[in-house]
Amino acid sequence: MRYYKPIEIAQELQISTSALRHYESWGVVPSPERGENGYRLYTNVHRAYFRCLRALIPGFGFALTYDVLRHIQAAQLDQAFWLVNAEQAKLYEEKSIADQTIALLQDPHLASVGDKKMKQEMTIGEVASLTNVQTSAIRHWEKEGLLVPDRDPDNGYRLYTPVHVRQVLLISSLRKTVYYLEKMKELVQAVEHQSIDKVKEVAGNALDRIHLRNRQQFIGIHQLMELCIETGLIGRKETVLLQANHSFHPDKES
């Protein structure tokens, strides 16, 4: 069996040997055996764990990566995969919102969001439904001064316009990339005043970051599959994974 010194793996991954020890102490990778001299004896399995960990973090973050690898150590393959799948679904939702935001910014007179028509005056619930944003988030952004809805003079209820819908979508798209409240206010107000060239640039940059994270996630998933093969959770020639569960033939679709 091939054994690796900590410095060999650390140099390959461009991290410190102390980082390897931290991952081990946190239960993210299995503990290695020790040689007669007390040095750690890392195997191909440990190397696969470390490579997977470093590949998953950029696209999935530290907490989820650690949870996934702990599931792999416990041979809980499906639990690990569903965690990854759920995070990919969140990213797809972010992309959908970014796409809708850019479409609305490109055409200020666009009257729909996806297949949903906008009205000239809408309730907070209708805006939430249009944008797939929780009403609690919309109220929070209002408290921060990002949104200033009109009020119905008869009952005092909030009234939102298509401009507010664009602002809600913009905030939802940029909240992970624009970290300063005053900067966000500046961009949101630009939408209100139809000064949107800078806003379109920032929204485009946000979409670029989503594309980058999508690629990072797939790189991480590749290493996760390599880890599962190295640990024996998935066989290299496991034919069941290659078998179709349904037909794409148009005459045979159920």
Query: For the segment 195-251, what is each residue's pLDDT rounded down to a tens digit?
Result: 678 788 888 888 899 999 999 999 999 999 999 999 999 986 665 665 666 555 655
User: Are the C-beta atoms of 173 and 94 separated by less than 8 Å?
Assistant: yes
User: Are the C-beta atoms of 234 and 77 separated by less than 8 Å?
Assistant: yes
Residue 252 confidence (pLDDT)? 56
β-strand partners of 112 = 117
- Which amino acid would we find at residue 134? Q
> Which residues lie below 8 Å from residue 228, measured CB to CB, with a gap of 6+?
72, 77, 234
**Among residues of the chain, what percentage have pLDDT more than 70?**
88
Q: Global pTM?
A: 0.76
Question: What domains does the chain contain, in order, with CATH numbers?
Answer: 6-88+215-235 (1.10.1660.10), 109-195 (1.10.1660.10)
User: Are the C-beta atoms of 170 and 203 separated by less than 8 Å?
Assistant: yes
